[in-house]
A and B are shown apart, each in its own frame.
Chain A
Amino acid sequence: MADELMPRSDEFGLAKSDAAKAPITNHERSSLGKQLLGFWVTFKTMFKKVNTVQYPEVKEPTAERFHGRHQLNRHPDGLEKCIGCELCAWACPADAIYVEGADNKEGEQFSPGERYGKVYQINYLRCIFCGLCIEACPTRALTMTNEYELADDTRAKLIFEKDDLLGPLRAGMVPPPHPMYPNTDDGNYYRGEVTGSHPSQGIAKND
């Protein structure tokens, strides 16, 4: 009988030790009492604490690295990290991201360096939250938040524009467009040497 129930892999001598560790028990001849044990299991469970989360009223935090809605990040002085390279769009297996890059001009600087993302759309009807776009992003401009409440009633509302995705301006940030920090280039930005805005860049947000 036991031979009959050996796992298939054992036929080829592949997992002999594993099979020995986890023998398959023969249930064919289990007694009626054993079968009735199941009734005790369900009966006992009735008095256990319910596992349900009363969702809209009670919200449990997600796992720390839960894949939620995307966010476009900023440098500490408020400039956008996105350089409009479209690598995220290329990485996307669901074709959910649309990016149009444009050149930063004098007096119209959105990100350090030459290029910035002019149009940035994520279609949340297509997005599968796999996070490949985050892996592809060379500047850490695109990350994911833990926000998961993404239901809406029209298709158009579920295509998030750049405004919807951009992270909030924090204290000390200057809303772009504004020039780069004086006497720096994009390299300084990427090395994390720019830690805040300079008064020459504009009026910083303070709170």
Chain B
Amino acid sequence: MTNAELISQDPGWIIALKGVIIFAACVFLTIMSVWGERRIVARMQQRSGPNRVGKFGLLQALVDGVKLALKEDLIPKAADRIVFVLAPIISTTTCFMAFAVIPLTGEVNFFGYKTAMQLTDLSVGVLYVLAIASVGVYGIVLAGWSSGSTYPLLGGLRSSAQVISYEVAMGLSLVAVFIYSGSMSTSEIVAAQDRWWYAVVLFPSFIIYAISMVGETNRAPFDLAEAEGELVGGFHTEYSSLKFALFFLSEYVNIIAVSALATTLFLGGYRALPGLGFTEQWLGGWFTLVWFFVKVLAFFFVFVWLRGTLPRLRYDQFMKFGWKVLIPFSLAWIMIVSTLRVMSQRQSSTFLLVAFIFSVTFIYIGITSLMDRAKVKTDIASKITNNTEPDFPVPEIPNSRAEQLNG
């Protein structure tokens, strides 16, 4: 039975219970991931990280949450009060909603009912996640705008531009998955990966998705929206107390959500690692939950690793990378994938297949060599223009330097 059929038989109370469980799991995971991130980043910098509250500092995030809740809740005078309150609510609710379509387990025994840990199975599940993520941007934009202050506005604009541009690349990277699985339903995509994960089959798509999901969640090295050195706190500068806590929560739930989506689409979701398929039957199917979270946490580790390693990009570099590298590349990749797909469906001859792959390689080599030549030309051109006298007065160039440049 597929997940969709299993879920369709759920009585109302199971649906409600599942919703509560997923919500609680998200909050718990957020708290633990804040702690985990701080510990891991600390280790990467040869520090030990929070280790005071509870064993290994495990309660640190919880205590921070309590502290945040007890703080004074300020609304600036210049702020638009309604939107100001609404913004964190939008951004939190939307990131939780993405989890509704993520299949956490296969078939399990849930209080005597055969069901799957998935709240609902839409036939356009992945589109729904993308749509929800886009609505989530409103939270950030409105927060920036309604604060009535300069830096939050700039941060909000930055992050909206960022999320919009990276969502294009993200959506394009998913197209290849849709083409191969023939479905947009999350559970069917997982089922379609029973032999090969799409992270292997569609490796370029996987890489593009992995990069754009970091951009999408405003995380380092793409955390331009809250670049402390430039924008103070970014869009949440004016927020305090519980409203700030909501933004904090939504950021981390978002990370978990995109990681969960990546797991579902590329790493075979709740299915066991290759060769360990027998474990899927353990604990009456509940062991698949472990596999799912192992994969999600692996993604989370990569998020933290990125943060610990890479410096923040400049805004123009970031935009250039999104629009001039990721999007054209994924467009080209989609063309290749769809051609290959059509070929294999029509059972074309091996000769045709090889010919296609060769022609693609030739075109790639041709384009890159042309680009290299153009680059050399512009380099030479820029050198020549550098040595000509400008038509405005400039201070004298020191002799030794001029001699060096002219050979």
Q: Which residues of A contact B (CB under 8 A)?
A: 3, 6, 10-13, 38-39, 41-43, 45-46, 48-52, 54
Interface of B is mostly: helix
Q: Is B341 an interface residue (CB 8 A)?
A: no
A45 touches B44 (CB 8 A): yes
> 1/0 per residue B21-48: CB within 8 Å of A?
0000000000000000000100111111
Name A3's closest neighbour in chain B (CB-CB). B404
Q: Is B310 an interface residue (CB 8 A)?
A: yes
A50 touches B398 (CB 8 A): no
B305 touches A50 (CB 8 A): no
A11, B404: Cα distance in complex, Å? 9
Q: Is B195 an interface residue (CB 8 A)?
A: no
A51-B46 CB under 8 A given contacts A38-B309, A46-B40: yes
A79, B46: Cα distance in complex, Å? 50
Residues of B within 8 A of A41 (CB): 309
A51-B398 CB under 8 A given contacts A39-B305, A39-B309, A41-B309: no
A118, B46: Cα distance in complex, Å? 50
A116, B46: Cα distance in complex, Å? 52
Name B311's closest neighbour in chain A (CB-CB). A38
Residues of B within 8 A of A39 (CB): 305, 309
Residues of A within 8 A of B308 (CB): 42
Within B34-88, the residues touching A (CB, 8 Å) are: 40, 43-48
Within B282-337, the residues touching A (CB, 8 Å) are: 305, 308-310
A43 touches B305 (CB 8 A): yes
- For the complex of A and B, 5 pairs with smallest distance between CB atoms: A42-B44, A46-B43, A52-B48, A51-B46, A42-B309
A11 touches B400 (CB 8 A): yes
28 A-B residue pairings within 8 Å (CB atoms)? A3-B404, A3-B405, A6-B404, A11-B398, A11-B400, A11-B401, A12-B400, A13-B400, A39-B305, A39-B309, A41-B309, A42-B44, A42-B308, A43-B44, A43-B305, A45-B43, A45-B45, A46-B40, A46-B44, A48-B46, A49-B46, A50-B43, A50-B48, A51-B46, A51-B47, A52-B46, A52-B48, A54-B48
A49, B43: Cα distance in complex, Å? 9
A39, B309: Cα distance in complex, Å? 6
Residues of A within 8 A of B401 (CB): 11
* CB of B270 to closest CB in A, whole Å: 27
Size of B's binding interface in residues, CB under 8 A: 16
Residues of A within 8 A of B47 (CB): 50-52
Residues of B within 8 A of A54 (CB): 48
Residues of A within 8 A of B48 (CB): 50, 52, 54
Name B397's closest neighbour in chain A (CB-CB). A11
Q: Which residues of B contact A (CB under 8 A)?
A: 40, 43-48, 305, 308-310, 398, 400-401, 404-405
In the complex, number of A-B residue pairs with CB atoms less than 8 Å apart: 40
* CB of A72 to closest CB in B, whole Å: 38
A42 touches B305 (CB 8 A): yes
A50-B310 CB under 8 A given contacts A11-B401, A13-B400, A39-B305: no
Residues of A within 8 A of B310 (CB): 38
Residues of B within 8 A of A13 (CB): 400
Residues of A within 8 A of B309 (CB): 38-39, 41-42
Name B404's closest neighbour in chain A (CB-CB). A3
* CB of A202 to closest CB in B, whole Å: 51
Q: Determine which residue in B40, B48, B405 has the highest number of CB atoms from chain A within 10 A of its CB, and name it.
A: B48
Q: Determine which residue in B47, B309, B310 has the highest number of CB atoms from chain A within 10 A of its CB, and name it.
A: B309
A38, B46: Cα distance in complex, Å? 15
* CB of A26 to closest CB in B, whole Å: 13
**Sample of 8 further A-B pairs with CB below 8 A, known A45-B46, A46-B40:** A3-B405, A38-B309, A42-B305, A48-B46, A50-B46, A50-B48, A52-B47, A52-B48
* CB of A160 to closest CB in B, whole Å: 31
A31, B393: Cα distance in complex, Å? 40
Name A49's closest neighbour in chain B (CB-CB). B46
Name B41's closest neighbour in chain A (CB-CB). A42
Residues of A within 8 A of B45 (CB): 45
A42, B48: Cα distance in complex, Å? 14
A6, B398: Cα distance in complex, Å? 14
A45, B404: Cα distance in complex, Å? 43
* CB of B60 to closest CB in A, whole Å: 15
* CB of B285 to closest CB in A, whole Å: 34
A109, B378: Cα distance in complex, Å? 87
B43 touches A12 (CB 8 A): no
Residues of A within 8 A of B405 (CB): 3
A11, B45: Cα distance in complex, Å? 38
* CB of A127 to closest CB in B, whole Å: 30
* CB of B293 to closest CB in A, whole Å: 21
Residues of B within 8 A of A46 (CB): 40, 43-44
A41, B47: Cα distance in complex, Å? 15
Name A48's closest neighbour in chain B (CB-CB). B46
Name B45's closest neighbour in chain A (CB-CB). A45
A38, B40: Cα distance in complex, Å? 16
* CB of B387 to closest CB in A, whole Å: 11
A49, B47: Cα distance in complex, Å? 9
A46, B49: Cα distance in complex, Å? 12
A42, B303: Cα distance in complex, Å? 13
Residues of A within 8 A of B305 (CB): 39, 42-43
Residues of A within 8 A of B404 (CB): 3, 6
* CB of A81 to closest CB in B, whole Å: 44
Residues of B within 8 A of A45 (CB): 43-46
Name A37's closest neighbour in chain B (CB-CB). B309
